[in-house]
Amino acid sequence: MGGGGVAPSMKLCDVLLLTGFTLLCGGLFIHAWSVPIQIDESTYENGASLMEGDSIELELSYQTDGILRVVFFDEQGEIQQIDSMTLKKGTSSTASFTASSGGYYSYEVDTNGNPAELNVNIQRKYLIDFLPFVLGAFLFSYGLYTRPNDSIENEAIDAILD
């Protein structure tokens, strides 16, 4: 257990710098960290919340020859779009869907038991996913702006010894 003690409070510029940098790094994780999904079973189901005009793109690459079926559903479970394609070993194909209204849309990928790799890409119409970048850049730059310009290079530092 650490002792009590008195620590100076954190400066506002440091809080702004830390918060802005955290939002910038978090935004990178939101956009840059995309791990392909290995499909070993016959079907894979997932979904996403989309606004009107948003689109979801599924890039599928087969590791063997086979037939692939992709079905997009709306919130009520009604079929919105069906894509069926024949893929050769080592090739890839793309299935995309654009939401006509806002809501949760799910998709089902049926590989008929053949292994495949899936990359999911969601394109937002209003670019809301980039909001952390804008907010983080604003907070970080304002933190740099409010940071004091104290120069201690020429000052002597005296230690108080008891």
Domain that holds residue 65: 12-146
Alpha-helical (H) ranges within the chain are: 12-32, 131-146
Residue 92 within a domain: yes
Kindly provide the b/e burial profile for residues 5-21, where b requires at least 16 CB atoms within 10 angstroms of the residue's own CB: eeeeeeeeeeebbeebe
Tokens encoding 119 = 């990359």
Q: What is the pLDDT of residues 104-123, one digit of tens each?
A: 999 999 988 888 889 999 88
**pLDDT at residue number 157:** 65
Q: What is the pLDDT of residues 60-79, one digit of tens each?
A: 888 788 888 999 999 998 99
Q: How many domains in the chain? A: 1
- 154 has pLDDT over 70: no
Residue 3 within a domain: no
Res. 6 pLDDT band, cuts 50 70 90: confident
Residue 161 within a domain: no
Residue 155 within a domain: no
Positive or negative, the CA dihedral 49, 126, 71, 29 is negative
Share the mean pLDDT of the chain. 86
**pLDDT at residue number 9:** 81
Using CB atoms within 10 Å of the CB of residue 57, give its burial: 0 to 12 exposed, 13 to 18 middle, 19+ buried.
Answer: middle
Residue 89 within a domain: yes
CATH of the domain at 45: 2.60.120.380
Q: Packing angle between helix 131-146 and helix 12-32, nearest 10 degrees?
A: 160
pTM above 0.75, yes or no: no
Residue 113 within a domain: yes
